[in-house]
Amino acid sequence: MPSMVPEPYRIKAVEPIRLTTRAEREAILANAGYNIFFVKSEDVYIDLLTDSGTSAMSDAQWAGLMVGDEAYACCRNYDRLKDVISDIFGFCYFLPTHQGRAAEKVLFSAAVKAGDYVPSNSHFDTTRANIEAVGGHAVDFLISEGLVPTSQHAFKGNMDVKRLNRFIEDVGAQRIPLAMLTITNNFGGGQPVSLANIRTVKEVLSQHGIPLFIDACRYAENVYFIKQREAGYGNKTTLEVAREIFSYADGCTMSAKKDGLVNIGGFLAMNDERLYQQASQLLILWEGFLTYGGLAGRDLEAMARGLREALDEKYLQHRIGQVRYLAERLLEQGVPIVEPPGGHAVYLDARRFVPHIPQAELPGQALVAHLYLEGGIRAVEIGSVAFARKDEKTGEWTYPELELVRLAIPRRVYTQTHLDYVADVIIELYHKRDQIRGMRYTYEPPFLRHFTARFEFV
């Protein structure tokens, strides 16, 4: 199979983008305190900051907005969404939310109490923060291969079941109200979880009566990897694989801003009626009535249609192919990335890209700055700026194992020519990597540092 198939769509509306000059970008970035989050969208040429909420909707989704039923209660779009969710995910109950973290907040507030533990393969940061906000502890049991950028393991997002088992025996099942699996694993490179792993995790949890929830935001991409890589699934439809995944779960949280192909939206789903009732109360308090949950009727319709489109095998083949295409172009030139490439992004391995910059001098952030200066490309650091921890007493830093720069590919937005441009810029930068200098903070906020910190070159 060629590494990239043509777009399975044609373009009906266009949005102009503009490449600034090098001198303009130098001024813009300095003005932003070298924090890419403060650069105006219109000053970015290729925006790979996130694949979340940045998808291009289809003509069918845009048409769906016009049949939005904006009644406060029991709008028709709720029913359509309900049918789609029950068809794909199969859970008894669902609650719409405005995005993924709202589903997390409702779930953990209903299910987790202070001192509880929630194990996962790898919690996303909003998930972790929402667990900690109710006094719980979020713990990760990713397989060790998941932390090795060059490991070719087919399912680097898998949970280490032995460690999970030992952990349950150590702390006791009564302190673990639920466990989670993030599919695909965003932090370790967009890596998938195998069906065998999901099944085994479920078996272990069942023995202890612990429910399993899936963080499903990139589940369709995970489905595609299972079809490609796991024996026995190649001939199943994407819908069949999705149904099998969720058959092992007791519920899920969903940010539909990813594999729902919408700009805003999410949901929480579950089988347990009591949990549903508790969650319903919180939903009404924080999001809105049960049939709209912080969204307009039209948003529900766009989500219902987007969820179906994201399971289209031709779409997924192109989508995953795009990510792989960019990865292969970089690998050909020896650019160090997380291998094999994941579903939604290519992750540069900053430790090997700029080995002369110690983690204390923020190599990932330095790369992010240079990608913008060189080519107007916006990426995001997933390394020391996002995750290093400082000991409040000694002032000493602990640095994360992975120092990555994520190039997230928005869905259905950029063409192969855009990706070739991105590859060319990165390859050129790689050839002069010796000139890249480290960075230091000029302003270091107390938490969620990456959003508001400011920097300068060392």
418 in contact with ligand P71 (CB under 6 A): no
Stretch that binds ligand P71, among 95-103, 194-202, 237-245, 352-360 (CB under 6 A): 95-103
- Which residue number, 168 or 371, has a Cβ lying nearer to ligand P71? 371
Which residue's beta carbon is nearest to the bound ligand P71?
100
Stretch that binds ligand P71, among 64-72, 93-101, 142-150, 362-370 (CB under 6 A): 93-101
Tell which positions 436-455 bind ligand P71, by CB under 6 A: none
**Contact (Cβ atoms closer than 8 angstroms) between residue 192 and residue 182:** no
Task: Return the bridge partners of 214, or none.
Answer: 181, 252
**Chosen residue from 25, 43, 47, 50 binding ligand P71 by CB under 6 A:** 50
**Chosen residue from 130, 182, 194, 322 binding ligand P71 by CB under 6 A:** 182
Tell which positions 202-261 bind ligand P71, by CB under 6 A: 215, 217, 255, 257
Encoded tokens for 96: 């719409």
Stretch that binds ligand P71, among 14-22, 98-106, 155-163, 434-442 (CB under 6 A): 98-106
Minimal distance, residue 100 CB to ligand P71, in Å: 3
Q: Which of 53, 75, 18 is nearest to 291 (CA)?
A: 75
- Which residue number, 4 or 201, has a Cβ lying nearer to ligand P71? 201
Task: Return the bridge partners of 207, or none.
Answer: none
- Which residue number, 99 or 359, has a Cβ lying nearer to ligand P71? 99
Query: Residue holding tokens 């789903």?
Result: 269
Q: Which of 437, 444, 284 is nearest to 373 (CA)?
A: 437
**Contact (Cβ atoms closer than 8 angstroms) between residue 140 and residue 121:** yes
CA distances from 166 to 104, 188, 195, 212 (A): 26, 23, 22, 17
Tell which positions 257-276 bind ligand P71, by CB under 6 A: 257, 266
Q: State the DSSP H helix or E strand holding residue 95, giving kind and residue range, or none if neither.
A: strand 93-97
**Chosen residue from 124, 267, 347, 387 binding ligand P71 by CB under 6 A:** 124
Encoded tokens for 145: 């291969």
Number of residues counted as binding ligand P71 (CB under 6 A): 15
Is residue 361 packed enough to be buried (19+ CB in 10 Å), middle (13-18) or exposed (0-12)?
Answer: middle
**Contact (Cβ atoms closer than 8 angstroms) between residue 351 and residue 384:** no
Which residues lie near ligand P71 (CB under 6 A)?
Answer: 50, 52, 99-101, 124, 126-127, 182, 186, 215, 217, 255, 257, 266
